[in-house]
Amino acid sequence: MKYLYDVWVNWFEGEEYGYNVCDYHEWRKTDQIDILEQVPVLYIEKKLYNYIENSLYDLPDGLLEDIHKRAYVRKGVSRRVLDYACIMTDGEKILAINTIGFHIPLQKSRIIPRQEQQVLEYCKQTKPKHFSYVPITEQTQATPVLKMEEHHVIGLTRRERQLKKLLFIALDKLKFTDNRNEIMYWLTEWDVQMADEISDDMLINDVWTLLYQSVETGWSEAHECLCEQMIKGNEFLEKYWELEHEYRHNPAHK
């Protein structure tokens, strides 16, 4: 088995989708960086890679067996074994994972460019390994709340992705208020001219969909203003807003 040594990782915890696992150039000085003293490398098939990168479902049993207690993390002078951790690749994309003792990839990270190149060179010398697993289907996948698809965040910075996530959470909460007047209010705040497109017999869900479809693409100052207004009063979301606002205005934290 191929191993990498002294690998820097910046764990993003509980991230279901790979677009939220930031590349090295988006790491921040305030992020907690760990060093994997030793970690196995798995070259796997593209479908399985995508399944792991974009879900929080159980990893294949065979894969777990292959990586069991083969990775170590170093903290100062101490060394600790990790139950299930590895670097995986489909020959193009690369992802480090750690299950923190469970069977799902609860922690995900990218790695630094120099070590990415080492992984890709390894792929030229071998073939992807096959692991049996049950793919996600529409029947087995739980119905999600409003979520961002990859096309919603293409070209956005880390900060913009985080703020867009807050906006989508606010939109999801708005959808379930079942309050036509409130939805109309936010539609008007976004674009007052859109109110002219709303007829009295238009269903509440259709009004909400109009708002959603008008903000789902890109990110702008108008998006940011709407997001800031919609999350007011929600302490949890406001906390994350303030954190991202601080990153914008304090270069030392970037």
Domain boundary assignment for the chain: 2-123, 150-253
Longest dimension (CA), the chain: 69
Q: What pLDDT is recorded for position 78?
A: 87
- The region, left, alpha or beta by phi > 0 then psi within -120 to 50, assigned to residue 35 is beta
- Over range 187-202, report the average pLDDT: 87
215 touches 229 (CB < 8 A): no
Q: What pLDDT is recorded for position 105?
A: 97
- Over range 25-44, report the average pLDDT: 96
Q: Beta-strand (E) ranges in the chain?
A: 2-9, 12-13, 34-43, 68-75, 78-89, 94-98, 107-109
- Over range 90-117, report the average pLDDT: 97
pLDDT exceeds cutoff 60 at 142: no
Q: Any idea what the Cα angle at residue 121 is, between residues 118 and 127, rounded to 5°?
A: 125
pLDDT exceeds cutoff 80 at 95: yes
In whole angstroms, what is the distance from residue 202 CA to residue 3 CA?
59
- Over range 179-203, report the average pLDDT: 89
Three-class secondary structure of residue 107 per DSSP:
strand
pLDDT exceeds cutoff 90 at 93: yes
- Over range 91-102, report the average pLDDT: 97
